A and B are shown apart, each in its own frame.
Chain A
């Protein structure tokens, strides 16, 4: 969460010789991150506006005083003088004792404070106060409301003001009942649920959504004369749930849901009374009401010096450790090697274990002062069976053959995936509501994106998610879509890929509903290739299975004697698969070493035949014998030789 505060405001709580940019740079390295320092002009005076990112665990820093506190510890480490200015409040003079009656469910709120203040009229805030609020991104409304926001920004505890006369006779802080509603200042109605914290006026009427927003029926209005200045420390989990559900992200809600230090309530109370008396001429008309039943107890954490040095990786002086912790408000007792540490109240929530204490020491000491070194320990000797290298090889081979790799979203619409795909319970939209079981639809969509391009080959290697009774099977797939090629060229890409990867595969023609009739080959156990109904070529293979079908490289002796080569054209009968012909003819004689298809016209197929012997060069007579044998074999399966 980011907060914006003016340099002049910060310096009301911090005296330092560090210039704004120096302050920002130093704090960014050791504490909250100062994302911007802007020079601004306010009432003709030069000021600086800080934009500060505070991490969610450091709710104690989401205020001017919180930042000042951090700065007072960090700046001296960079050689600057820095001192926190203490809060000084005059005890208010109480002129009446109006009752504040309150019933609190202690599980919901650990501390509640309130005081009644009488004013003459609802005025506007002085200019300087408005400027500070606006600079911090808060709208100025009227003096009472502005004071609550001002004190919240300065101290870090949210505050609310009621019209005292509208919340009588008795306030009751409880959880809402189903069906109850509240109306905001902007006249918006919200439906409540049973975990929401509300305040009712003792008559069952809800008069506040504490820690989140005020309501129309109890807020200070233009005729208000008596104000109830009110603070409560609410249970953060309840606040977060309500605030998120209703979509109300006020500053107060954001602070409250992180868990505010109840001890800050006192400071916020007296600072508020001060401002009301000074700028609204308010009279204090009640005792300061304070119900503080559950006081958080300090926790003692023991940390050894050895442990600190082990995590930091450097040696530190014990006196340095003690001085850092003390500066941060911790109490420290050192006995031999061990520090017994208690955190200040405003750090109770985030300081829990010894590592938390180490972090405090390390960051103030300065991460930038630590050396940078690689591990000296042994390199783990692990053998892990993985397919990363195989995937890479396949990708590079495909790229070499002109294919373009794509990455597509694994989240697809229901219509893009088959039945039984895993459904997202909270999708961003209908087009990304399911986890795909196949890459096909995504690749077709990818191809359609490029419909103006005549020919291309897109491929992807990604997981598909196949539901089981437990976690889905995540199966790494290789899939691609080819456009603008002949069937043989497209299939040739797959065959080349298999050949380079040394995958032995068995292609058989089997139809299914996805591909065009008679245009699909199944690659046994590995995947499929074919022509889709939209005329794209499509293939998909399982990576793991491809990898398992790899054969080791094999050496074949290089023949000593040259081969005789000739082309023979055969006329095929109808419905004859070429591959089976090739297989049959190849087995005619060991000296017929290869039979390759080189051309095809109608039902005429030309094959290139290599005749070769390992013992000598074949003469014409010998070749003729082999040729006759081959032709004989061809005739036996119904082929005839073209004259």
Chain B
């Protein structure tokens, strides 16, 4: 008898849970609790049970009746709260295939825009060029270490009697004299391109990207170089960033500078909660090299240094993209690996 009662309860509750409408529930109610309902019937059957068991069975029966009624009420309430036009708007969508632009492209786009705003024309010059454009015209003396086979890739070809070896450009600066040959001042150029150097480790890939800025006009001074670098830094990295110039030495500029930008991690303070910032050098990060165009470089481009002055800068694309996004790529080679698990993150 007890077992029969428990089965009856399970059966009733299951039906209540599966019910699709209030009508269903009404039918279930009659089926169990109506005048001829299954549970109602048991109340009459109980009289046939021996007296000593009757009382405890009565208690059980009443508690089952109560549970079934409660389940019914709950379910009816829920159904009346949930109208028929109910719809789960939060259901996950069917994924649509959308690809990704490479991080380098994203950075180059942004750099191009920032300089286009202030009148710079983007140009494209050879990635395989003569030594003359990459070094000699840029005031490098013969035997300069940068021209060593140690640092710069050269092509296995006979050198040109006038222009020297055929090389893979180790910087975008070969565009400087080429631009001077293409147009007369005023010049405002950005040259963003692939470069190659004989280095390969976690933080160097033999192929990388640089952007070069060149401005030549009458009366161009260090003040304008600072203005242009600040324009870039604040538009690309954020208006709260500050830059500074430090003395440095490059063959093709005089004076030459190293450009630093305030660290975003410690906000230029060099310290985080009293501890040395691990990312920067006392609040500053190196951004790239810059300088006033060397008079010999202007002459190589047939521009009279007595009349025109200019400035130039060269900055690594991979460097700024990692500095900006705060993406800590442990190995630069990942950028060029075609690994979709990496590419799809950006």
Interface residue ranges, A against B (CB under 8 Å): 25, 28-31, 33, 35-36, 55-58, 237, 240-241, 244, 310-314, 353, 355-356, 358-359, 362-363, 367-368, 370-375, 377-380, 382, 384, 386, 388, 392, 395-396, 398-411, 422-428, 432, 435, 443, 445-447, 449-450, 453, 456-458, 462-463, 465, 470-472, 474
A402–B148 touching, CB < 8 Å = no
B148–A380 touching, CB < 8 Å = no
Identify the closest chain B residue to A371 (Cβ).
B223
A359–B247 touching, CB < 8 Å = yes
Identify the closest chain A residue to B197 (Cβ).
A428
Q: Determine whether B186 belongs to the interface, using a CB cutoff of 8 Å to chain A.
A: yes
Bound together, the chains give a CA A240 to CA B148 distance in angstroms of: 11
B230–A372 touching, CB < 8 Å = yes
Interface of A is mostly: mixed
B156–A370 touching, CB < 8 Å = no
Query: How close is B232's CB to chain A, nearest CB, in angstroms?
Result: 11
A446–B207 touching, CB < 8 Å = no
Query: How close is A455's CB to chain B, nearest CB, in angstroms?
Result: 9
Bound together, the chains give a CA A400 to CA B96 distance in angstroms of: 10
A363–B206 touching, CB < 8 Å = no
| 25 pairs of residues in contact across A and B, judged by CB atoms under 8 Å | A55-B248, A311-B221, A312-B221, A355-B294, A356-B254, A359-B247, A359-B255, A367-B222, A373-B224, A374-B228, A375-B227, A384-B123, A396-B101, A399-B100, A401-B97, A402-B96, A405-B101, A407-B102, A410-B196, A411-B206, A425-B156, A428-B198, A462-B194, A463-B194, A470-B160
Q: Determine whether B122 belongs to the interface, using a CB cutoff of 8 Å to chain A.
A: yes
Q: Determine whether B34 belongs to the interface, using a CB cutoff of 8 Å to chain A.
A: no
B98–A402 touching, CB < 8 Å = yes
List which B159-182 residues lie within 8 A (CB) of chain A: 160, 166, 168
The verdict on A463 contacting B339 (CB below 8 Å), with A314-B223, A380-B119 known, is no
B226–A371 touching, CB < 8 Å = yes
Q: A409-B207, A457-B99 are in contact. List 10 more A-B contacts (CB 8 A).
A: A33-B248, A240-B143, A312-B222, A375-B228, A405-B99, A406-B343, A425-B153, A432-B206, A435-B128, A471-B128
List which B122-146 residues lie within 8 A (CB) of chain A: 122-124, 126-130, 143, 145
Bound together, the chains give a CA A408 to CA B340 distance in angstroms of: 13
Q: Determine whether B218 belongs to the interface, using a CB cutoff of 8 Å to chain A.
A: yes
List which B176-221 residues lie within 8 A (CB) of chain A: 183, 186-188, 194, 196, 198, 200, 205-207, 215, 217-221
B207–A410 touching, CB < 8 Å = yes
Total cross-chain contacts (CB, 8 A):
232
B340–A453 touching, CB < 8 Å = yes
Query: How close is A20's CB to chain B, nearest CB, in angstroms?
Result: 13
A405–B246 touching, CB < 8 Å = no
B206–A313 touching, CB < 8 Å = no
A29–B196 touching, CB < 8 Å = no
Q: Contacts of B228 on A, CB cut-off 8 Å?
A: 374-375
From B97, B156, B338, give the contact of A406 (CB < 8 A).
Answer: B338
Q: Contacts of A404 on B, CB cut-off 8 Å?
A: 99-100, 340, 343-344
List which B101-121 residues lie within 8 A (CB) of chain A: 101-102, 104-105, 109, 112, 118-119, 121
Q: Contacts of B13 on A, CB cut-off 8 Å?
A: none
